[in-house]
Structure 1
Amino acid sequence: MKGKTISEIKIGDKASISKTVSETDVYLYAGITGDLNPAHINEEEAKETMFKGRIAHGMLTAGLISAVLGMQLPGPGTIYMGQELKFTAPVRFGDTITATVEVVEIENGKFLKLHTFAVNQDKQVVLDGFARVMPPK
């Protein structure tokens, strides 16, 4: 399985995935990374935060961007070079997140700059940024 090469990609190409974030997802992510921040795993403490309850890790949401890049656009064989991110709204347990990447620039015939963003089921942007990748050869 191989993703799209630079010659197969044009500015404006887009791809997305959607996932409903579960409590299990958050606990598995916390265990894998060691990020046991109470904002994510302790409902009683999280109620005292500005979010008034538990939220998913921002980087869990960002991981959905990685999934789009690695599996769809450009796809398998892509090398993820960098990411600029802003977390613009919390992701709550049960939210359905749609992560999208859109090609905005082709650099030197080797790299892509992509607008990366994610929205929840209410179309509220929860993550926004740009990625730089090297598509497969």
Structure 2
Amino acid sequence: MLDNMPRGTIVIEELEIGMTRSLRKEVTDLDIELFAQVSTDRNPVHLDDDYARDTIFGGRIAHGMLTAGLISAVIGEQLPGHGTVYLGQSLKFLAPVRPGDMVHAEVRVSAIDYGRRRVTLDCHCAVGDTVVLKGEAQVLAPSAKFD
């Protein structure tokens, strides 16, 4: 299940501090398996119930970068959207995401350098009231002047 705002582009000339966009996605067993295949990260904490039960997590968890990928989806599809170039990302993983969890990923514009087309975005993901990931992204935003 994926619930998100309309996709597209917000060019640098239309961006404002405080703008936000988000999406919600349920993380499924299939998502975890497909991410393991694509990334080649087959750590058993993600894939093996018996193994994961004996870890500090007490059960299987999604890959942290799968959750971080939801931030990338908001940036690349909504804010700023199509044509955005990722320059950097900091991430702090605060709590696990488990199969079946509904993740809310949100991005907020925190700084804009209009002349250089650079945008800083505060990012976080939450499951219910628990923030599971937070960070900051730097991007090069698309411009109406370069269409």
Give the TM-score, by structure 2 length.
Answer: 0.90
- State the one-letter code of the partner of 1:44: D
Q: Shift of the alpha carbon at 1:26? A: 0.1
Match of 1:111 in 2: 118
- State the one-letter code of the partner of 1:86: K
SS at 2:80 equivalent: coil
Match of 2:104 in 1: 98
- State the one-letter code of the partner of 2:106: T
List per-residue Cα deviations over 1:85-123 (Å, max 9, x = no partner).
000000000000010000000125310000000001x22
Q: Which runs of 4+ in 1 moved over 6 A?
A: none
- State the one-letter code of the partner of 1:115: D
List per-residue Cα deviations over 1:35-74 (Å, max 9, x = no partner).
0001100111101100010000000000000000000010
Match of 2:84 in 1: 78
SS at 1:118 equivalent: strand
**What are the within-5 Å matches in structure 2 for residues 12-27 of structure 1?**
12-27=18-33
Give the TM-score, by structure 1 length.
Answer: 0.96
Instruction: Kindly indicate whether the alpha-carbon contact (under 8 Å) linking 1:3 and 1:135 is maintained by their aligned counterparts in 2.
Output: no
- State the one-letter code of the partner of 1:12: G
Q: Shift of the alpha carbon at 1:2? A: 5.3
Q: State the percentage of identical aligned residues.
A: 48
Give the total of aligned pairs. 136
Q: Does 1:57 pair with 2:63?
A: yes
- State the one-letter code of the partner of 1:94: G
Match of 1:134 in 2: 140
Structure 2 stretches lacking a partner, 5+ long: 1-6
Match of 2:4 in 1: none
Rounded Cα–Cα distance in structure 1 between residues aligned with 2:142 and 2:113:
14
